[in-house]
Amino acid sequence: MSTTVISHDAAHHDDHGHHHETFLTKYIFSQDHKMIAKQFLITGIIMAVFAMVLSILFRIQLAWPDKEFPILEVFLGKWAEGGRIKPDFFLSLVTIHGTMMVFFVLTAGLSGTFSNLLIPYQLGARDMASPLMNMLSYWFFFVACVIMVASFFIESGPASAGWTIYPPLSAVPTAIAGSGLGMTLWLVSMTLFIASQVLGGVNYISTVLNMRTKGMELWKMPLTIWSFFLTAIVGLLSFPVLVSAVVLLFFDRSVGTSFYLSDLVVGGTILPNEGGSPILFQHLFWFLGHPEVYIVVMPALGLTSEVISTNARKPIFGYHAMVYSLVGITVLSFIVWGHHMFVTGMSPFLGGVFMITTLIIAVPSAVKAFNYIATLWRGNIRFTPAMMFAIGMVSFFVSGGLTGLYLGNATLDINLHDTYFVVAHFHLVMGSASIFGMLSGVYHWYPKMFGRMMDERLGYFHFWLTFIGAYLVFFPMHFMGIDGVPRRYYAFTEFPFMEKWVSVNLLVTWAAIVSAVGQVAFLWNFFASIWCGKRAPQNPWKSNTLEWTTPVEHIHGNWPGEIPSVYRWPYDYSKPGHDEDFIPQTVPHSQTMSSNLLHDWEGNEEGIAAQKAYNREHDREIEG
């Protein structure tokens, strides 16, 4: 792969830059990747708080199914008449909680923030390939968020068919309250969201392939960039499929076709739709839906790689293996969707195929987990809040990933399907792991985003509350699932076999409330530090990557002078022979003779000869 050379200087850049910045072009309709990253992050945080409040509401219902909370009626009106959440609204709560968390927080909030921030910064580009598309990507996302929130302010309530919007609940407007206008708004919102993701993804791919600075070969890119790049590819290939699924759903809802509907009686009347297959929707949905969970987790894996390596002061263990495992996950993500459908009457042979492809994903995932641990092993670890969250991410990735082996097994899945075991699995492996990866990124790159440091003590407080809280919330759910307790049920008091779990629900809800309150520490830390945080030095973590060579004050075009060239990979931490424990990517090998290995010269004969001479002179005996 050839490298594109960017040789223009800043003076020239200013010539044709549009520098009449007003409040509107700087903060609102900004085309600057740094500002767009902040917009994505803050919108993502607001959506996360909103979705978290929804989860607390349904946790309250699950813990105290027979108790009345008059305050709920004050806020929710007829959806909580007499202080008890209605079953219809309960379904809306779980649906919108899932939708917002998966799509708005962990897809747009995570990829949107860090791809925008780090792709140009870490590759040495002045901005994205198409800043205009980038701006549009944010504004489509923003409107999608507004519409989704707006669905709480309509008579019939928000969509309530689950975040997977299976027909017929999603396809028959008269089915339940949430199937009406709420579902329509959901579909409109998601269509805008898909447009946002495709615009963003095209830009990320194009920037990675076309805009790298001199010397930044693909194999010298930080793992963050690899993960954003592969995530964008997964998104580009899978989101259009969701468009197809949603389009057919729209026709079934509004035009009267029968792609997904058949043999339905609603309120005593037989529906005219005949011959459709709801399973078809599941195929199309999960062809996006499964890659989507990797869209959620891969950026978190990339951020974690960078944070762990930097703070363990060690090169990432198995850089190439890390990249190939990401590539492996990318490819495999497209051929495993059937494991969500083992109990749809799928042919056992096909189920077996999906089972094998699913279990193979354990291989690249395990490679990553082992490599993280090997990077930490005997490292000179600095337990910054970002590092704590990165290690927490690895913990969740392992403990949640292990249960994937059970669920991926077609026979075991018959028992576990649609139980709390599944809820526990994906909340740990993709929910908690990704959110921890994201928070780790926020703590680590906050100085780059806002030029100030976050408070460390609040960071540790936030970490421990969230870490312990998340395990207390999700771990007990495994046992409920093994006992056969189904997910999305409104009250555990209706079935004798579930009643014994009400006490566990009480523990889970208290843990959820405490860790939700703990997020206030983060919110305070995040927003107050924008103005009151300690001023950040240029390279607070003594990191190697290019973003730390830019000035603390943001400028248009990122670097005041020429864009720096890159000479080495990003993980030269604690290299034996060097006087410092890090060597930035911009330092040429000719300046680090005391630490070079022969293979660092990549076959450059002159360099190797000079190195050999140097080694002889200084009695260095190092095999290259």
- Which CB sits closer to other proteins, 353 or 482? 353
Q: Residue 162 CB, nearest distance to other proteins (Å)?
A: 21
Among 241, 249, 388, 407, binds other proteins (CB under 8 A): 241
From 32-40, 43-51, 128-136, 151-159, give the range in contact with other proteins by CB under 8 A.
Answer: 128-136
Site for other proteins contains 4 (CB under 8 A)? yes
Q: Residue 178 CB, nearest distance to other proteins (Å)?
A: 25
Site for other proteins contains 3 (CB under 8 A)? no
Say how many C-beta atoms besides its own lie within 10 A of residue 334's C-beta: 16
Say how many C-beta atoms besides its own lie within 10 A of residue 347's C-beta: 8
Q: Could you give the 3-state DSSP secondary structure of residue 566?
A: coil
From 46-54, 253-261, 389-397, 462-470, give the range in contact with other proteins by CB under 8 A.
Answer: 253-261
Interaction with other proteins in 280-309: which residues (CB under 8 A)?
280, 283-284, 287
- Which CB sits closer to other proteins, 124 or 441? 124
Among 164, 258, 409, 565, binds other proteins (CB under 8 A): 258
Tokens of 280: 């078809």
- The residues pairing with 270 across neighbouring beta strands, listed in sequence order, are 265
Site for other proteins contains 263 (CB under 8 A)? no
- Among 172, 185, 173, smallest CA distance to 95 is for 185
Interaction with other proteins in 417-456: which residues (CB under 8 A)?
none
* C-alpha pair distances (Å), 369 with each of 76, 331, 604: 43, 19, 35
Angstrom distance (rounded) from CA 123 to CA 506: 49
- Which CB sits closer to other proteins, 345 or 576? 345
Site for other proteins contains 136 (CB under 8 A)? no
159 within 8 A of 60, measured Cβ to Cβ: no
Angstrom distance (rounded) from CA 221 to CA 605: 24
Q: Could you give the 3-state DSSP secondary structure of residue 266?
A: strand
Site for other proteins contains 342 (CB under 8 A)? no
Angstrom distance (rounded) from CA 196 to CA 142: 9
Angstrom distance (rounded) from CA 42 to CA 356: 40
Q: Residue 346 CB, nearest distance to other proteins (Å)?
A: 11
127 within 8 A of 44, measured Cβ to Cβ: no
Among 43, 231, 238, 399, binds other proteins (CB under 8 A): 238
Among 82, 256, 348, 560, binds other proteins (CB under 8 A): 256
Tokens of 508: 């889970």
Among 21, 68, 217, 274, binds other proteins (CB under 8 A): 274
Which parts of 82-222 fold into alpha helices (H)?
A: 87-99, 113-123, 131-150, 181-210
Q: Residue 475 CB, nearest distance to other proteins (Å)?
A: 37
- Which CB sits closer to other proteins, 133 or 491? 133
Angstrom distance (rounded) from CA 60 to CA 444: 34
From 270-278, 320-328, 440-448, 516-524, give the range in contact with other proteins by CB under 8 A.
Answer: 270-278
Angstrom distance (rounded) from CA 77 to CA 153: 11
Among 275, 496, 576, 603, binds other proteins (CB under 8 A): 275
Site for other proteins contains 18 (CB under 8 A)? no
Angstrom distance (rounded) from CA 223 to CA 118: 11
Angstrom distance (rounded) from CA 132 to CA 171: 36
Interaction with other proteins in 526-555: which residues (CB under 8 A)?
none
- Which CB sits closer to other proteins, 350 or 520? 350
Say how many C-beta atoms besides its own lie within 10 A of residue 295's C-beta: 30
Site for other proteins contains 588 (CB under 8 A)? no
Tokens of 108: 């747009």
Residues engaged in binding other proteins (CB under 8 A): 4, 7-8, 12, 15-16, 129-130, 133, 198, 201-203, 205-207, 209-211, 236-241, 243-245, 247-248, 251, 255-259, 273-277, 279-280, 283-284, 287
